[in-house]
């Protein structure tokens, strides 16, 4: 782990420069420029709000639009960062074949780039909070920690995915689809509170209820989204009980994923 950190420090200028490149290139010839970055969460929020008016989802004391926007922010960040991270090595094949630097810089850069879009969405969220007259509490200081955790979750999938994608491009095509399915298994459209009520309080699945809830929260995004809403909108600390299973899973998988990436790295230039 120490070596990774040292590598990253040594190549920090490269990461910064590549990130700058990614962002500039993405919005270079677009009139609205970086404004496009927030179009997707905004559009999704409007659609979900529309759907909610037919279906009826209990959003508690928080207005549904802002609740779902606060869920979409970490979700979209996670989804885009992961997808981008998986494609990152293949996308840079010209560099991979010619010049050496630690290859994890590619997924890392791809993932960090998405922080910019996240930051812009944060302004929209702030605007919504002003509109709904909600005051943030000191718990909002948890946001960087939660985002860092999201970033690690994203890297866990991206490192492994990027390495496999070098040999089998299927991964680059399949994972975004799987990820968009994962959205329905994450508390984006509905708040986690609904799941918690159903399983933990009403024990809807009988004796299996507690186990099911643990399985549900194995998805790190369940905890992340709920905690993000907690610290920003509800003025509460993160709910660690819902984050724990996901955290354990990430703590196990991230080193494995990283090791797999480093092991495959030696052959990238040969097969890419």
Per CB under 8 A, 36 contacts another protein: no
Toward another protein, which CB reaches closer, 109 or 193? Answer: 109
Of 105, 96, 116, which Cα lies nearest the Cα of 158? 105
Per CB under 8 A, 50 contacts another protein: no
To another protein, the closest distance from the beta carbon of 158 in angstroms equals 20
To another protein, the closest distance from the beta carbon of 4 in angstroms equals 17
CB of 120 within 8 A of CB of 190?
no
- Scanning residues 248 to 267, which ones bind another protein (CB under 8 A)? 266-267
Which of helix, strand or coil describes residue 248? helix
To another protein, the closest distance from the beta carbon of 13 in angstroms equals 6
Per CB under 8 A, 197 contacts another protein: no
Encoded tokens for 43: 């559009």
Which of helix, strand or coil describes residue 221? helix
Of 102, 78, 103, 76, which Cα lies nearest the Cα of 90? 103
- Candidate list 8, 14, 57, 182; residue touching another protein; CB under 8 A: 14
State the burial class of residue 226 (Cβ atoms within 10 Å of its Cβ: 0-12, 13-18, 19+): buried
Sign of CA dihedral 142, 144, 145, 149: positive
- Candidate list 2, 9, 24, 135; residue touching another protein; CB under 8 A: 24
- Scanning residues 162 to 181, which ones bind another protein (CB under 8 A)? 167-168, 170
Toward another protein, which CB reaches closer, 160 or 222? Answer: 160
Toward another protein, which CB reaches closer, 123 or 263? Answer: 263
Alpha-carbon Rg for the chain in angstroms? 19
Encoded tokens for 183: 């959205």
Residues interacting with another protein, by CB under 8 A?
Answer: 13-14, 17-18, 20-21, 24-25, 28-29, 94-101, 167-168, 170, 266-267, 269-271
């Amino acid at each position: 782990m120490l070596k990774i950190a040292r590598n990253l420090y040594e190549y920090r200028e490269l990461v910064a420069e590549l990130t700058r490149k990614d962002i500039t290139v993405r919005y270079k010839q677009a009139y609205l420029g970086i404004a496009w970055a927030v179009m997707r969460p905004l559009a999704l929020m409007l659609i979900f709000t529309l759907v909610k008016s037919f279906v009826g989802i209990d959003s508690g004391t928080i207005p549904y639009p802002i609740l779902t926007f606060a869920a979409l922010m970490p979700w979209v960040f996670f989804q885009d960062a992961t997808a981008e991270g998986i494609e990152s090595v293949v996308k840079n094949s010209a560099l991979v074949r010619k010049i050496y630097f630690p290859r994890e810089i590619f997924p890392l850069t791809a993932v960090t780039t998405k922080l910019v879009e996240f930051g812009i969405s944060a302004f929209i969220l702030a605007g919504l909070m002003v509109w709904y007259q909600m005051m943030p509490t000191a718990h909002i200081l948890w946001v960087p920690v939660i985002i860092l955790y999201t970033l690690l979750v994203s890297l866990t999938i991206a490192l492994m995915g990027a390495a496999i994608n070098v040999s089998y491009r299927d991964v680059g095509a399949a994972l975004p689809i799987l990820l968009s399915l994962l959205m329905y298994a994450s508390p984006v459209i509905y708040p986690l509170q609904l799941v918690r009520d159903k399983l933990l309080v009403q024990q809807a699945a009988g004796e299996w209820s507690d186990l099911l809830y643990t399985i549900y929260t194995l998805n790190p995004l369940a905890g992340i989204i709920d905690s993000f809403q907690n610290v920003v909108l509800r003025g509460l600390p993160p709910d660690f009980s819902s984050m724990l299973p996901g955290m354990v899973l990430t703590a196990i998988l991230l080193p494995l994923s990283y090791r797999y990436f480093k092991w495959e790295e030696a052959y990238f230039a040969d097969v890419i």
